[in-house]
């Protein structure tokens, strides 16, 4: 990987990079296709990063399918798939690694940061290590993980890493469910009801036009919690840049609702933009 990257840099080629944890779906492939279109060469990493899982069961059950991943990546026309072993990313193993603490700012302490303690430190750790190996010109991230993009932007800024972060729109199934590797873990009955997450969010955009932030929040939570087997973990309506909670629609030019829902034991995340005038 390092030799390939050194050669590309020597030739003055731009490197597009899509970091993934595998179990690839059409959402990932849309990032890959964009990277292929915008860069001279494209690298995709497939690495289930143990340090970002705060729950060992979640790591153990995370879907993996490298054979299908490599097929999809070859079809998408990438230059290199990088699928390292754990001790290539964390020499000496996860337990013995030199653990660095990143300054990720307020954005890392709320929502996912609150419910998955240590998660964003693990994301920052792996993404900074991958950036150090791949040395990309541009790196592509899906907006389903809205908060992750804000945290990675902070990491890149505080670490002084020279890479352009490119956010890419959420890909959805025909029924509106945001594509996610975790959808593979849903039972057929859960898969049937999961689109209610996006339905409730999309309907709330209309509702928000003549209701308060609090009423909009509550209607989304009620609508989703009324579905059997579904439980909202959090729904927060925040400023799209700072992720600070918004109490009035007029408070910010960019307002986003971020949600996490348990569908049985499967944790799904999604978000919706209420307003963006910047």
Q: Is 127 in the site for ligand PAF (CB under 6 A)?
A: yes
Q: Is 21 in the site for ligand PAF (CB under 6 A)?
A: yes
Residue from 30, 39, 49, 154 in contact with ligand PAF (CB under 6 A): 49
**What mask, x for binding ligand PAF by CB under 6 A, covers residues 135 to 154?**
----------x--x------
Query: What is the Cβ-side half-sphere exposure of residue 167, based on CA atoms within 13 angstroms?
Result: 14
Catalytic, 28? Answer yes
The catalytic position among 28, 119, 198, 217 is: 28
CA atoms 32, 35, 40, 45: torsion sign:
negative
Could you tell me what percentage of the chain is helix, strand and coil, using 3-state DSSP and rounding each to the nearest 5?
45, 20, 35
Provide the pairing of β-strand 254-263 with 15-20: unpaired
Residue from 36, 43, 81, 123 in contact with ligand PAF (CB under 6 A): 123
Q: How far apart are CA 148 and CA 133, in angstroms?
A: 20
Residue from 20, 30, 154, 180 in contact with ligand PAF (CB under 6 A): 20
Q: Give me the helices (H) in the chain, please.
A: 2-10, 26-38, 56-61, 66-75, 86-89, 112-115, 119-134, 146-159, 188-193, 196-207, 213-225
Q: Is 113 in the site for ligand PAF (CB under 6 A)?
A: no
Task: Provide the terminal-to-terminal Cα distance of the chain, rounded to the nearest Å.
Answer: 39
How many residues sit in the footprint of ligand PAF (CB under 6 A)? 10
Q: Is 126 in the site for ligand PAF (CB under 6 A)?
A: yes
Provide the minimum distance between the beta carbon of 177 and ligand PAF in the complex, in angstroms, as a whole number. 17
Q: How far apart are CA 198 and CA 176, in angstroms?
A: 6
Provide the minimum distance between the beta carbon of 244 and ligand PAF in the complex, in angstroms, as a whole number. 23
> What residues act catalytically?
28
* Residue ranges that bind ligand PAF, judged by CB under 6 A: 19-21, 49, 52, 123, 126-127, 145, 148
């Amino acid at each position: 990987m390092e030799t390939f990257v050194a050669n590309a840099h020597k030739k003055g080629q731009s490197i597009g990079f899509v970091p993934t944890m595998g179990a690839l779906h059409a959402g990932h492939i849309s990032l890959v296709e964009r990277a292929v279109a915008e860069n001279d060469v494209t690298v995709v990493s497939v690495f289930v990063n143990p340090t970002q899982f705060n729950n060992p069961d979640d790591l153990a059950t995370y879907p993996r399918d490298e054979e299908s991943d490599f097929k999809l990546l070859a079809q998408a026309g990438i230059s290199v798939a990088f699928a390292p072993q754990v001790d290539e990313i964390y020499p000496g193993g996860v337990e013995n690694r030199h653990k660095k603490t990143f300054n990720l700012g307020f954005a890392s302490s709320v929502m996912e940061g609150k419910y998955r303690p240590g998660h964003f430190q693990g994301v920052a750790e792996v993404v900074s290590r991958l950036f150090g190996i791949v040395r990309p010109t541009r790196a592509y991230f899906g907006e389903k993980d809205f908060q992750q993009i804000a945290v990675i932007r902070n990491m890149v800024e505080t670490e002084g890493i020279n890479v352009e972060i490119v956010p890419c729109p959420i890909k959805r199934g025909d029924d509106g469910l945001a594509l996610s590797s975790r959808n593979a873990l849903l039972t057929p009955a859960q898969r049937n009801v999961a689109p209610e997450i996006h339905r409730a969010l999309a309907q709330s955009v209309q509702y928000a036009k003549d209701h308060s932030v609090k009423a909009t929040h509550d209607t989304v939570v009620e609508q989703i919690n009324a579905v059997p087997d579904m439980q909202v973990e959090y729904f927060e309506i925040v400023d799209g840049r700072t992720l600070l909670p918004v109490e009035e629609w007029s408070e910010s030019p960019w307002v986003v609702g971020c949600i996490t829902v348990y569908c049985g034991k499967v944790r799904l995340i999604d978000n919706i933009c209420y307003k963006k005038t910047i």
